[in-house]
Structure 1
Amino acid sequence: MAEYNGNNIFEKLGALIPGYKGYSEREGRRETDKILREQIVDSLNNNISVLYKWNRAFLKEGHLEQLTEVEDIEKKLRIITDQIKFAQCGDSGFFDVVQVNEKTLDNLYLYDMAFKKKVDEFITNLNSINSHQRKGVGLENLSEQLDSLKQIVENRDKLITEIE
């Protein structure tokens, strides 16, 4: 009888199948990438309420021009959130034209980690804006940050489709 050395029995069986180890490692990377993207989406969605509070305050104060600006920021935020949520996750089937290898998946994960830092900066800025800043430069800065985040999300797919 074979000696059990602490590995999961499925890992032992997988080691006997040619190519399974690489497949398993790629699947782990894909799952990690997916979890990171879900975390980014959740953190953005959790902070949309700040914009709702601003809209209510502007409505009370009669600042209709700021309502439009905040609604534009909210729209941009929702678009980015959807793009992240439904972004390619690095999957590639056996017969796909573009095969996503481990290096590409690693680059994708590093890209997403850097993106998460930018998202965290946006959220920090969003939550640090006081009532006076909401009526000018603060909103413009948030809008510019969202434009930058949108560009990063759009460039993400290029990492997957790049042929080395």
Structure 2
Amino acid sequence: MIDPERHAENRGWIESKLRKIPGFRGYLEKEYRRESDYVVRAWMAELLQKSKVTLDTYSRTLVESLQIDDLPAIERARARLDQVMSKIRGDVRGYSAFFGFVNVDEQRLDAVYDQDMEMVGQVEELVAAIDQLTSSGTGPKEVASELLQRIGDLEQRYLRRHEILKGLADGTPTETEP
């Protein structure tokens, strides 16, 4: 699994020399932003992918206990999880209008990173909730309802991130701006 915290440690000594070339540092910074964006999203998508195994096991348990009428609710949650995971994983590396700039408004950049950190926390909480809810003895419809709510919250956070990125591109103010 890609570890976002170790991403920066993989840079070599030659890169430190290249950063001294005029103009090259800005290019590297742009590429770092793009790569960091990809690494964080890939890591979140991978966690979500692994949590689907738990949902699949839970679905099999429902079938084995002849609770087939409850399967559609769990399948809706799983399908929604797939959709959100695909959005997170499938975006291009770095929003080109944002990540292409060498000089970026630090306040807006902080807003994007804040959204990313909130999303990381939400993904971790969602994965933990999937594990906890599917083993708690809670009814399948309640499990599905709770998961759909959490998945919806994650999707809203991801959409908000897109709004911030678009605001960076077209000058639209973000919530952090007057």
TM-score bracket for the superposition, by shorter chain length? 0.7 to 0.9
User: Alignment length, in residue pairs?
Assistant: 154
One-letter code aligned to 2:24: Y
1:151 and 2:150 are equivalent in the alignment? no
TM-score, length basis structure 1: 0.80
Which of 88, 91, 96 is the matching residue for 1:87? 91
Task: Give how far 1:121 is off.
Answer: 0.6
Tell me the percent identity: 22
**Unpaired runs of at least 5, structure 2:** 1-11, 172-178
> CA deviation digits over 1:35-67, x for unaligned, max 9?
111110111101101111111111112212210
> CA deviation digits over 1:89-112, x for unaligned, max 9?
4343xxx69954363444323311
Which of 23, 37, 47 is the matching residue for 2:41? 37
One-letter code aligned to 1:83: K
Aligned counterpart, 2:82: 78
Aligned counterpart, 1:113: 117
| Secondary structure at 2:94 match in 1 | coil
Task: Give how far 1:74 is off.
Answer: 0.6
Contact 1:58 1:64 in 2 (8 A): yes
| Secondary structure at 1:16 match in 2 | coil
Task: Compare 29-38 and 74-83 and name the one that shifted more.
Answer: 29-38
Contact 1:98 1:161 in 2 (8 A): no
- CA distance change for structure 1 residues 109 and 97 in 2, over 3 Å: closer, same or farther? closer
> CA deviation digits over 1:9-49, x for unaligned, max 9?
454344232x3212211211221121111110111101101
Aligned counterpart, 2:73: 69
- CA distance change for structure 1 residues 42 and 119 in 2, over 3 Å: closer, same or farther? same
Larger Rg: 1
TM-score, length basis structure 2: 0.75
Task: Compare 58-67 and 104-113 and name the one that shifted more.
Answer: 104-113
Within 2, Cα distance between the matches of 1:67 and 1:59? Answer: 8
- CA distance change for structure 1 residues 146 and 60 in 2, over 3 Å: closer, same or farther? same
Contact 1:30 1:105 in 2 (8 A): no
